[in-house]
Amino acid sequence: VQLQASGGGLVQPGGSLRLSCAASGFSLDYYVIGWFRQAPGKEREGVSCINNSDGSTYHADSVKGRFTVSRDNAKNTVYLQMNSLKPEDTAVYYCAAAAYLSGAGWDTPLEYDYWGQGTLVTVSS
């Protein structure tokens, strides 16, 4: 069972990146997928989430209107499209999978069973 996050890199403010979260060993169809990020010296925070049951999505207030999350079940991959990037978006981004959310909140790391290794996003001119 493995999650692989990729797509990070260096981008100028106002630019875009698309992160991918690919799964091996299990099907993402049955999991809630969350994206988290962690900047140096800060706690890991929830960015976005996509539900497996109805495809509903959730976003942190800091990224609403700029980030979208989607899934391609045929490719067993979830994407995080990030537009209008800001320097404060700089962080290591992780994807995570949860069999279900117990009620602590989609943005609570303890809700998630599996984690990818992280991909670095740097927003700088």
CA distances from 114 to 14, 26, 63, 111 (A): 31, 11, 23, 10
pLDDT value of residue 64 = 97
Q: How far apart are CA 12 and CA 54, in angstroms?
A: 34
Q: How far is Cα 89 from Cα 86, in angstroms, rounded to an integer?
A: 5
Q: Once rounded to an integer, what is the mean pLDDT over residues 88-94?
A: 98
- 106 pLDDT band, cuts 50/70/90, is very high
pLDDT at 50 over 90: yes
Read off the pLDDT of each residue in 48-54 and give the average, rounded to a whole number: 91
Tokens at 56, concatenated: 């509903």
